[in-house]
Amino acid sequence: MSTAVDIAVAALLRRVSADVILPRYQALAAHEVIAKAANDMVTIADTEAEVMLAEGLARILPEAAIVGEEAVHADPALANRLDTGLCWIIDPVDGTNNFAAGKPPFGVILALSDGGETQSGWIYDPLQDRLCIAHKGSGAFVNGVKVRAKPTGQTPPIAAISTVFLDPAARAAVQARIAPYYTLVDIPRCAAEQYPRLVLGVNDISVFERTLPWDHAAGVLFVNEAGGMAARPDGSPYRTDQHGQTGLYAASSPALFADFMARSAAAD
pLDDT in tens, 191-233: 999 999 999 999 999 999 899 999 999 999 999 999 999 999 9
**Residue 141 predicted with pLDDT over 80:** yes
The candidate with the shortest Cα–Cα distance to 158, out of 118, 119, 207, is: 207
Judge if pTM exceeds 0.85: yes
Q: In order of start, what are the domains of the chain with their CATH numbers? A: 3-146 (3.30.540.10), 158-267 (3.40.190.80)
pLDDT in tens, 43-90: 999 999 999 999 999 999 999 999 999 999 999 999 999 999 999 999
> Among 59-63, 210-214, 240-244, 263-267, which stretch is predicted with the lowest mean pLDDT?
263-267
CA 251, 115, 220: angle at the middle one, nearest 5? Answer: 10
Of all residues in the chain, what percent are helix, strand and coil, respectively (each to 5)?
40, 25, 35
Q: Can you give the pLDDT at residue 165? A: 66
**Residue 163 predicted with pLDDT over 90:** no
Q: What does the alpha-carbon distance between residue 78 and residue 1 come to, in Å, rounded to a whole number?
A: 25
**Residue 177 predicted with pLDDT over 90:** no
**Residue 166 predicted with pLDDT over 80:** no
C-alpha of 239 from chain center: 13
